[in-house]
Amino acid sequence: MDELLKHSDFVVLTCAYSPEMKELINKETLSKMKRNAVLINTSRGALINQDDLYAALSSGQIRAAGLDVTMPEPLPPDNPLFSLSNCVILPHIGSATERARTEMLHIAEDGILGVLDGPKLPQHLRVV
């Protein structure tokens, strides 16, 4: 990951969250990113230490950030990230496209029908 951070213009978080992934992006990892790098998070807010992100954005350590998820959600209106012109924060609406919502509907539909038709769930569903 260090090499990716060192050479990437864009770092996009699309990974699942687990306790081991908490604050994957922090002071240490942000310091390895290029000064012109843009960080985008569409996964889970807990993947980023937001205090460290604020410091990196404020100091110019990285160029910008785009957050569709935060910790907590929604962020309090007085959160300092809102004061930064190089940080765009969306209210967790990254999946609010017609295509994404239609696909979500089909996945839910397949799951419901799979349960009603018998004990076997569709293959793309996984019970954890």
Whether the per-residue pLDDT at 58 is higher than 80: the answer is yes
Are the CB atoms for 66 and 39 separated by under 8 Å?
Answer: yes
Per-residue pLDDT tens for 13-57? 999 899 999 999 999 999 999 999 999 999 999 999 999 999 999
Active site residue 106: no
Q: Is the pTM of this model over 0.85?
A: no
Q: Which of 7, 92, 106, 124 is catalytic?
A: 92
Quote the pLDDT of residue 95. 76
**2-93 CATH:** 3.40.50.720
pLDDT band at 74 (very low <50, low <70, confident <90, very high): very high
Quote the pLDDT of residue 108. 83
